[in-house]
Amino acid sequence: MRPLLALVLAGGMPLSVALPAAAIAADSAPRAPGAREQAPLFAAEMERAARNVEASIRAGIQVPVPRDPGGGFTHEKHKQNYRIIFEAGQLYRLTGDVRYRDHARDLLKAYADLFPGLGPHPAASNQVPGRLFWQSLNDSVFLVNAVQGYAQIRASLPAADRDHIDNGLIRPMARFLSDGSPQVINRIHNHATWAAAGVGLSGYLLNDRDLVDKALLGLDKSGKAGFLRQLDLLFSPDGYYAEGPYYQRYALQPFVVFAAAIAAHDPQRKIFDYRDGILLKAVRTTIDLTHDGYFIPLNDAIREKSLQTEELYHAVAIAYAATQDPAFLSIAKWQGRTVLTPEGETVAADLAAGKAQPWPFASRALSDGPDGQSGALILLRGDAGFDGPLLVAKNGVQGMGHGHFDRLNWLYYDETGPVVTDYGAARFLNVEAKAGGRYLPENDSWAKATVAHNMLVVDEQDQFGGDWKKGEEHAAQQIAAGLDAPLQYSIAAIDTAYPGVGLRRALILLKVEGLAQPLTLDILRATSDAAHRYDLPLHFSGHIIDSDVEFSRNLAERSVLGTANGYQHLWVDGKGQKADGARLTWMKGRRFYSYHMRPPAGTNFILAESGANDPDFNLRREPVLIQRADGQKNASFVSLLEPHGDYDASTEAVVASSSRLRAFDHRRLDAADLVKISLANGESFVVAVADDASPAARHNVMLEGRRLEWTGPVARIKLPRETRK
Amino acid sequence: MRPLLALVLAGGMPLSVALPAAAIAADSAPRAPGAREQAPLFAAEMERAARNVEASIRAGIQVPVPRDPGGGFTHEKHKQNYRIIFEAGQLYRLTGDVRYRDHARDLLKAYADLFPGLGPHPAASNQVPGRLFWQSLNDSVFLVNAVQGYAQIRASLPAADRDHIDNGLIRPMARFLSDGSPQVINRIHNHATWAAAGVGLSGYLLNDRDLVDKALLGLDKSGKAGFLRQLDLLFSPDGYYAEGPYYQRYALQPFVVFAAAIAAHDPQRKIFDYRDGILLKAVRTTIDLTHDGYFIPLNDAIREKSLQTEELYHAVAIAYAATQDPAFLSIAKWQGRTVLTPEGETVAADLAAGKAQPWPFASRALSDGPDGQSGALILLRGDAGFDGPLLVAKNGVQGMGHGHFDRLNWLYYDETGPVVTDYGAARFLNVEAKAGGRYLPENDSWAKATVAHNMLVVDEQDQFGGDWKKGEEHAAQQIAAGLDAPLQYSIAAIDTAYPGVGLRRALILLKVEGLAQPLTLDILRATSDAAHRYDLPLHFSGHIIDSDVEFSRNLAERSVLGTANGYQHLWVDGKGQKADGARLTWMKGRRFYSYHMRPPAGTNFILAESGANDPDFNLRREPVLIQRADGQKNASFVSLLEPHGDYDASTEAVVASSSRLRAFDHRRLDAADLVKISLANGESFVVAVADDASPAARHNVMLEGRRLEWTGPVARIKLPRETRK
């Protein structure tokens, strides 16, 4: 690891390269204008920032009294202002142009005039209110940004201005977010990380050790809370964040920004080595939690969120500075953006020098929970590509208040995007007309519900009775995982989601000779002493082509499927039965998908769509297929997702628009599931999944007069090629 | 115009540059392998073709007996084979490799064995049956391609092979498509153009003047049918094709390919100068009929169709060869493809040489009808960009059997894609499970219906009683058009669509100072002596944000809006009334759209969605807002589409998510419509539209004590700035 480029905030020293003290001193004067030719990526950032700051200079200082919720005028104005303070400070460092410094100073002084007189925000809702914003979280983000900008100009200001800003804004805001908000900063939660970062950066800047220690160790400095404790508890040993990918992304910025400052100011803490390098693991894992650049929308998540976000610009720059791993450069290239800091400068320069290497996307079993013992998030990738096949299995923890009731849920992506989908959150971020941009009522009533996921619903209830605090007490169990093609798998179980019902699911990604796309086999088994209604939903993206089920259709009158737990939001399009399994085929982009089902006998198939009981048009309308088995105790749902064919609108050539599957049978024999799959190309094989998942266990069953033997939890056993009937 | 690169087919001469005879002779031997370094675009085409042909060589000759409909095995195989014949022929010309020649020869010989014994295709449906395909159209396409490939190898074949192919395939197929199918080739229709091209190319190749003349002049050689008559009647003087953009694209290939051959073989015809250069006008207009590269889906149209199609590769290459206009090169660049002909070679070389210039997208009034007297298609573009604001007004003819009942319909596009939309066709092209890939029943019952368009429906009936032949008898009248920003407009009328009802619509695209996006003002007036139900639908793309109408919502039970004429396909989400006009706001991509309505007093607002009474899931589900005024004789519907704001998921910055409109009032005074618009930025103006549309007419009205004067049909009159209330 080469010397770290990092935030140095002490004593008003400009942001700088953390080299020996002499180097810092030499670098402490702002650079002369045009002193350095910048790489295109960084030059573009400087231009963008200069445009923003110049526009702000022209518009004059606007620091309105806080009034509006997210998306409203004062909300957006204060957000804009902290960005301007950050950018103007960096531009002053880079160009030495005092107009930038003076604009940042004037904004900071205006806030120093305003802030001390503020009480709780008038638009406060169900979150802890801030002073400048409706929730204190945004105040923390303000402080993290403002301090970084202020740090670049502070040394060049007269003492009176420094005092005014230090004591009118920075210190009171840091006090408000620490001593003034124990219910925030003492939590183990991303809001607390932002608060700790704001408070800690302020402490370093003001040389206020008390603030720094409270940020690092909690208000009582015991280490039971604070930044280090958050590092201990919020990430699993694999760098997976308890709340899921969306909040992992969000949480990352204060983690890496504060860590860079700690590394610079308290190098003896070796913060990047802390907990076996957890911070850099977290950055890498964050990038791994994307498909085609977009974050997998588990738990509360906005689907539009990609690697193109401020948090990831910071994380990539700081991680590259810390590791020099050229794979980070390819991410920066995809982002097309970086940050205005010295770390961003290096990223841009090395990218321009052609040093980028592809990001090594691979299958991963990300342990969940602080000790890695609370299940796992499984990512099975069909190839190393940015947008190739990806099967996700969510077998971990609840994920706190933003968690969904979706343990053992699965998703599937490929080059067409999301195929087996997750609704994400019901929220229009910062769109004022949609509940001020906050989470919508349908987030609780639909998005979090078990039926809104691809997981078995027992008796139309949510997992854990819909109580996330109860959900926090229980993790899923990751029984086995196989990450290597051509037979990748996850086996997981949970017996706490529903009283008296054991649930076990094997998800298997199969590469098959002669098929361009892998198959996904899903073997889900419920075990219970009592009879239940079992509903297994599949939320898919695409247009229905056809089915071998004769649905009784609701053609001219459409009713809802149920009354609660998300069922009230489902319009029923049709119901049908079919004795010996069923198939539904849909089309998305250029590809066809056939979903083959082997549920318990007597199962009903229900086609439905989200959007019922949605008075304010808050929901997207998306299709779902539900396999419903009534009065069942022990039941197996065995399903196969088969991508096939190609639709080319340019050439009008369509190939393989119908399934290539010739046989698909499930048997339970001798504590094992045996699934026979035969394809039109003559390939025929059995996938065997043993209940005993120990790697060394040897298994042996007779199937249709043929002895099948294998070792370990999952095997694919080839059968002789069949000739076409 | 420099000497034309064109198809020379006579006497088995290889496809070549139409230079003086000596040059043709010199060029008649196939090029030696690697004789020429090709530009990247063309080299890629050669590689692609070589891959296809090599795969076909490996697979062997497969010429199955015709059996399947569109999308089925034999259908796709015969399509693949004509492409292989074309490609193998071109590759032989380019490389001299006899393996390519021999493969094309063997395919052609297999067809020569098969073809004479074939009767009408067994999967024939409601179209004229072909021999190789379910409709004879595809047979024509086969012949056009096969002849072009055959032409490259014919001279190098032994006489016996030539005779076999000439007399077993080419001549019989040309006879089948001419004398054998008078009901096709004698029509004025794109199917006839394909037939004429196939027959004519065959005639040139076989030196059969009879075939050529029948292709050019119709079976009786009178000129009342045939290619030249099609050029007279199928395009308007502006090169707009009667059936609309989708079929214009489709029709283009036989037009340009056959024209290039005519230019080479019958240069005295000066075919590219014919009818004031109608062919090149048609190519240019085809390109103008796109937004972001996609064809505007008027009439029966598949929305996925873009400039990236075989037809346009040919058209662009041939048009560039004919004109050397470097704007065609930027289209080729967007396409990323070209054709394997000498024309394609030139496009690729000049593109590589950096000669491309942007396509000059501009507003256009495309006259409709062969004499340009049957109304117009109006394209109002907000800027010269590929994907900028575009207002489309369809004020022309029916468009024959593929036409929709949508006279005076309008559409709107911008950087987010289609905003005010057209359903296009109900069809899954070549997807066998969807009615063999043909038009679906819902194409008639929904896609063509007036209510499926953004045009007034009278008494829930289709225009022309849903009879397209009746629709053919009447065109809309284009009363006026203004193509110049900042005040672009179309005024059109039709009094034949509904008995006893006159319809007149002014659509105005307004650039307003301080607004990033133009406004669209729609003034629609119905005039009748009898009382009617007037429904004005707006089909929009996006997610509903909010409305100032309090809709009575169908939250848990959804019914359909009507029983016929498309109404049976609409689910009702809610109905509401509001006395003084209404607003609906939706969001698409990064942008918000507010639609402001000033309909007659007592109007009901209905929110609905397509997809009811759709037993086979053939319809997409898309939202529509309907303004319903009952018991009206004369009625005005005045509406304003206001794009506004920005949603940035990366930075979470949202600006202007609510409308900027402060006032919007309509008055009818002194044979004029006066619409006052005031915006939050203080801009305030009146748009005045006079009934008398003559350019020189002077108008003069008193509005709210202020005298307004203007000349011509439409004016924008600025009012003094208003201060914020």
Q: What is the pLDDT of residues A133-169, one digit of tens each?
A: 999 999 999 999 999 999 999 999 999 999 999 999 9
Which residues in chain A have Cβ-Cβ distances shorter than 8 Å to B308? 650
Of B302, B310, B571, the CB nearest to A651: B310
Q: Is the peptide bond before A695 cis (omega within 30 degrees of 0)?
A: no
pLDDT digits over B437-447, tens only?
889 999 999 99
CA–CA distance, B181 with A451 (Å, rounded to integer):
58
What are residue A553's DSSP bridge partners?
A574
Q: Does B279 score more than 80 pLDDT?
A: yes
Of A302, A543, A558, the CB nearest to B558: A558
Pick the residue of B657, B658, B724 with the most A CBs within 10 A to test the interface with A by mutation. B657
Collapsed DSSP state (helix, strand, coil) of residue A480: strand
Task: Please give the pLDDT value at position A71.
Answer: 77
Report the candidate in A76, A137, A59 with the shortest Cα–Cα distance to residue B648: A76
**A71:B654 CB<8 A:** yes
Which residues in chain B have Cβ-Cβ distances shorter than 8 Å to A650? 306, 308-310
Beta-carbon count within 10 A of B485 CB: 15
CA–CA distance, B374 with B242 (Å, rounded to integer):
10
Look up residue A554 and give its two tokens. 């609701």
pLDDT digits over B487-512, tens only?
999 999 999 999 999 999 999 999 99
Q: Is A529 on the interface with B (CB under 8 A)?
A: no
Residues 6+ apart with CB under 8 A from A548: A578, A582, A583
A619, closest residue in chain B (CA to CA): B543
Q: Is B680 on the interface with A (CB under 8 A)?
A: no
Residue A717 parent element (H or E): strand A714-718
Q: Are strands B591-598 and A684-690 parallel, antiparallel or unpaired?
A: unpaired
Task: Please give the pLDDT value at position B723.
Answer: 59
Specify whether the CB–CB gap between A628 and A583 falls below 8 A.
no
Look up residue B542 and give its two tokens. 């996006």
Collapsed DSSP state (helix, strand, coil) of residue B586: strand
* Residue burial A608-638, b: 16+ Cβ < 10 Å; e: rest: bbbbbbbebbbbebebbbbbbbeebeebbbb
pLDDT digits over B593-617, tens only?
999 999 999 999 999 999 999 999 9
Task: Please give the pLDDT value at position B720.
Answer: 87
Specify whether the CB–CB gap between A253 and A314 falls below 8 A.
yes
Task: Please give the pLDDT value at position A124.
Answer: 87
Look up residue B521 and give its two tokens. 């003002």
Cα angle B356, B359, B363 (rounded to 5 degrees) comes to 165
**A433:B585 CB<8 A:** yes
Which residues in chain B have Cβ-Cβ distances shorter than 8 Å to A609? 621
Q: Is A614 on the interface with B (CB under 8 A)?
A: yes
Q: Is B544 on the interface with A (CB under 8 A)?
A: yes
Which residues in chain B have Cβ-Cβ distances shorter than 8 Å to A428? 545, 587
Q: Is B724 on the interface with A (CB under 8 A)?
A: no
Alpha-carbon torsion (B55, B59, B64, B69), positive or negative: negative
CA distance B608 to chain A (A): 12
Q: What is the dihedral of CA A445, A446, A450, A454, to 10 degrees?
A: 180
Task: Please give the pLDDT value at position B15.
Answer: 36
Which pLDDT band, with edges at 50, 70 and 90, does B649 fall under? confident
Question: For chain A, what is the total number of helices (H) and then of strands (E)?
Answer: 18, 32
pLDDT digits over A104-115, tens only?
999 999 999 999
Q: Does A679 score more than 50 pLDDT?
A: yes
Which pLDDT band, with edges at 50, 70 and 90, does A10 fall under? very low
A78, closest residue in chain B (CA to CA): B653
Q: Does A465 score more than 60 pLDDT?
A: yes
**B543:A617 CB<8 A:** yes
Calculate mean pLDDT across residues B389-409. Answer: 97
Pick the residue of B652, B655, B660 with the most A CBs within 10 A to test the interface with A by mutation. B652
Give backbone dihedrals phi and psi of A685, rounded to 5 degrees, phi first: -155, 165
Structure-model confidence comparison of residues B17 and B135, the more confident one: B135
Q: Is A543 on the interface with B (CB under 8 A)?
A: yes
Look up residue B703 and give its two tokens. 């509005």
A335, closest residue in chain B (CA to CA): B650
CA–CA distance, A10 with B385 (Å, rounded to integer):
50
Average confidence score pLDDT of chain B: 93
Q: Is B553 on the interface with A (CB under 8 A)?
A: yes
Task: Please give the pLDDT value at position B670.
Answer: 86
Q: Is the peptide bond before B237 cis (omega within 30 degrees of 0)?
A: no
Look up residue A550 and give its two tokens. 């004769």
Residues 6+ apart with CB under 8 A from B498: B458, B459, B461, B463
**B649:A304 CB<8 A:** yes
Q: Is B587 on the interface with A (CB under 8 A)?
A: yes
Residues 6+ apart with CB under 8 A from B80: A653, B56
Report the candidate in B153, B97, B148 with the shortest Cα–Cα distance to residue B342: B148
Query: Which whole-number Å values give the CA distances from A480 to A487, A512, A673, B641, in the listed order?
Result: 13, 22, 15, 56
Calculate mean pLDDT across residues B557-579. Answer: 96
Q: Does B22 score more than 60 pLDDT?
A: no
A563, closest residue in chain B (CA to CA): B556
Specify whether the CB–CB gap between A418 and A295 falls below 8 A.
no
Give the active site residues of A.
247, 402
Residues 6+ apart with CB under 8 A from A59: none
**B652:A430 CB<8 A:** yes
Residue type, A437: G
**B 80-99 residues with CB below 8 A of A?**
80
Calculate mean pLDDT across residues B373-386. Answer: 95
Specify whether the CB–CB gap between B449 and B681 falls below 8 A.
no
Q: Is A69 on the interface with B (CB under 8 A)?
A: no
Beta-carbon count within 10 A of B555 CB: 16
Q: Return the residue matching tokens 């082997």.
A: A598
Calculate mean pLDDT across residues B520-524. Answer: 98
Calculate mean pLDDT across residues B707-714. Answer: 96
**B617:A544 CB<8 A:** yes
Percent of chain A predicted with pLDDT > 90? 88
Give backbone dihedrals phi and psi of B302, rounded to 5 degrees, phi first: -90, 125
B74, closest residue in chain A (CA to CA): A655
Calculate mean pLDDT across residues A123-131. Answer: 88
Calculate mean pLDDT across residues B340-358. Answer: 97
Q: Does B30 score more than 70 pLDDT?
A: no
Alpha-carbon torsion (B612, B613, B615, B616), positive or negative: negative
Q: Does B26 score more than 50 pLDDT?
A: no
Task: Please give the pLDDT value at position A247.
Answer: 93
What is the length of chain B?
725
CA–CA distance, B267 with B290 (Å, rounded to integer):
32
Cα angle A517, A522, A525 (rounded to 5 degrees) comes to 175
Beta-carbon count within 10 A of A661 CB: 17
Q: Is A651 on the interface with B (CB under 8 A)?
A: yes
Percent of chain A predicted with pLDDT > 70? 94
Collapsed DSSP state (helix, strand, coil) of residue A46: helix
Q: What is the CB-side half-sphere exposure of residue B586 using CA atoms within 13 A?
A: 21
Report the candidate in A116, A120, A118 with the shortest Cα–Cα distance to residue A130: A120
Collapsed DSSP state (helix, strand, coil) of residue B252: helix
Q: Is A387 on the interface with B (CB under 8 A)?
A: no
- Which of B3-12, B186-195, B237-246, B613-622 bottoms out in mean pLDDT, i.e. has the lowest? B3-12
Pick the residue of A78, A137, A545, A552 with the most B CBs within 10 A to test the interface with B by mutation. A545
Residue B561 parent element (H or E): none
Query: Which whole-number Å values give the CA distances from B633 to B454, B522, B579, B599, in the listed order?
Result: 20, 19, 19, 13
**B585:A558 CB<8 A:** no
A608, closest residue in chain B (CA to CA): B617
**B431:A304 CB<8 A:** no
Cα angle A128, A452, B552 (rounded to 5 degrees) comes to 80
Specify whether the CB–CB gap between B688 and B702 falls below 8 A.
no
Q: Is A724 on the interface with B (CB under 8 A)?
A: no
Burial class (CB in 10 A: 0-12, 13-18, 19+), A99: middle
Q: Does B126 score more than 80 pLDDT?
A: no
Task: Please give the pLDDT value at position B69.
Answer: 87
pLDDT digits over A514-540, tens only?
899 999 999 999 999 999 999 999 999
Give the active site residues of B.
247, 402
**A309:B559 CB<8 A:** no
Residues 6+ apart with CB under 8 A from A694: A712, A713
Q: Does B4 score more than 90 pLDDT?
A: no
B609, closest residue in chain A (CA to CA): A621
Q: Does B48 score more than 80 pLDDT?
A: yes
Q: Is A349 on the interface with B (CB under 8 A)?
A: no
Average confidence score pLDDT of chain A: 93
Q: Is B28 on the interface with A (CB under 8 A)?
A: no
Q: Does A18 score more than 50 pLDDT?
A: no
Collapsed DSSP state (helix, strand, coil) of residue B189: coil
Which residues in chain A have Cβ-Cβ distances shorter than 8 Å to B571? 558
Residues 6+ apart with CB under 8 A from B98: B92
* Residue burial B361-385, b: 16+ Cβ < 10 Å; e: rest: bebbbbbbbbebebbbbbbbbbeeb
Look up residue A624 and give its two tokens. 């779902």
Q: Does B320 score more than 50 pLDDT?
A: yes
pLDDT digits over A554-563, tens only?
999 999 999 9
Of B71, B545, B558, the CB nearest to A431: B545
Q: Does B346 score more than 80 pLDDT?
A: yes
CA–CA distance, B444 with B408 (Å, rounded to integer):
19
- Which of A22-31, A233-242, B176-185, B566-575 bottoms out in mean pLDDT, i.e. has the lowest? A22-31
What are residue B715's DSSP bridge partners?
B688
Which pLDDT band, with edges at 50, 70 and 90, does A721 fall under? confident
Q: What is the dihedral of CA A295, A299, A302, A304, to 10 degrees?
A: 20
Q: Is the peptide bond before B20 cis (omega within 30 degrees of 0)?
A: no
CA–CA distance, A557 with A550 (Å, rounded to integer):
18
Q: Does A698 score more than 70 pLDDT?
A: yes
Look up residue A134 and give its two tokens. 């409706």
pLDDT digits over A178-200, tens only?
999 999 999 988 899 999 999 99
pLDDT digits over B32-42, tens only?
444 568 999 99
Calculate mean pLDDT across residues B702-710. Answer: 93
Q: Does B7 score more than 60 pLDDT?
A: no
Task: Please give the pLDDT value at position B651.
Answer: 80
Q: Is B386 on the interface with A (CB under 8 A)?
A: no
Task: Please give the pLDDT value at position B24.
Answer: 26
Q: What is the CB-side half-sphere exposure of residue A33 using CA atoms within 13 A?
A: 5
Specify whether the CB–CB gap between A329 and A336 falls below 8 A.
no
Task: Please give the pLDDT value at position A670.
Answer: 86
